[in-house]
Amino acid sequence: MATTSSTTVSKAFRVLNLFYRHPVLTTTRCAEELDISRSTAHRLLVSLREAGAVEPTEHGHFRLSLSLFELGSLAPQRRFLGDRATAAMEELADVVGLRVHLGVRQDLHLLYLETAHGRYAQRVPTRVGNRGPLHATALGKVLLAYAPEPVINRVLASDLQGFTPHTTRSACALRTELERARCEGVAHGRQEYVLGSCSIAVPVVGPDGQARAAISIAGSTVAVYPRVSALTAKLRHTARTIERGSAWEESYDSMSRRSTFRQRQETMVRAAS
């Protein structure tokens, strides 16, 4: 049984490897490339489709699924952030008792890299590898706030989907929120993605002084906002821990750029207060 399962998995990966050369794959091409029967090729492709790894085209052929692309995009991000990110997030979740997310921007979407659950964590529709909106979550807004201006403009010009009655759908209002997030170094989500759920997010800064990722705390409104200041301080401490433990190449110049980012951020916060 174990040998059969191992062989099947091996064949499935051989099929997936064909997509390096063929963006769209037919059953016949798969059979020819792997020197197997068409029935075996079809069975493997159907199994991969049922597993969500491939999807059919309108002509009945096969291509890699979006979920597989999302899963693959996690690898380089996790490699750079390192194991310390997971440990730091779990420690934070234990301390605050809420849900902790780590995410990055993937074009015009938020990509969830890691999640840790505290004892009082809400069940919300997010999981590792999922994509989310940049404009309707604290995590997404802080990533968007530090994104290049052309990216910000593309999001502002898009249809800002409403998920709840509280979702910001005005480009002008969203730009104001992003400017405040960039000034204060923190973004807030107030029931904009899920009713009853609020969140706070801060950037994780790379050695180039750019926000490479973001980390957030999410929970019910009553669990988050009575202690927003304390939670924000804990978030910033965890972000620093992740930055120090990442696999980003450090040098005197890169540490100086990161320090300059933090000093500039603190200066803007003092000026705004």
* pLDDT tens digits, one per residue of 102-139: 998 888 999 888 888 888 776 665 667 788 999 999 99
- Quick one: 74 and 57 in the same domain? no
- Quick one: 171 and 205 in the same domain? yes
- Quick one: 58 and 80 in the same domain? no
CATH number of the domain that residue 38 is part of: 1.10.10.10
In whole angstroms, how far apart are CA 214 and each of 67, 89, 187, 240, 261?
22, 12, 10, 11, 15
Q: Give the residue from 45, 64, 83 where a domain finishes.
A: 64
Structural domain count of the chain: 2
Residue for token pair 């110049």? 253
Which DSSP symbol is given to 120?
A: T
Range of the domain at 94: 70-272
Q: Give the residue from 39, 64, 89 where a domain finishes.
A: 64
**What pLDDT, on the 0 to 100 scale, is given for residue 114?**
87
Q: Give the residue from 49, 64, 79 where a domain finishes.
A: 64
What are the DSSP calls for 6-75, one per residue? HHHHHHHHHHHHHTTT-SSB-HHHHHHHHT--HHHHHHHHHHHHHTTSEEE-TTS-EEE-HHHHHHHHHH
Q: E strands of 67-162, at which residues?
A: 99-106, 109-117, 131-132
CATH number of the domain that residue 219 is part of: 3.30.450.40
- Quick one: 89 and 191 in the same domain? yes
**pLDDT tens-place string over residues 149-196:** 999 999 999 999 999 999 999 999 999 999 999 999 999 999 999 999
- Quick one: 161 and 184 in the same domain? yes
Residue burial 127-144, b: 16+ Cβ < 10 Å; e: rest: ebbebbbbbbbbbbbbbb
- Alpha-carbon dihedral 181, 184, 190, 193, rounded to 10 degrees: 30
| Res 73 pLDDT > 80 | no
- Quick one: 188 and 58 in the same domain? no
- Quick one: 133 and 23 in the same domain? no
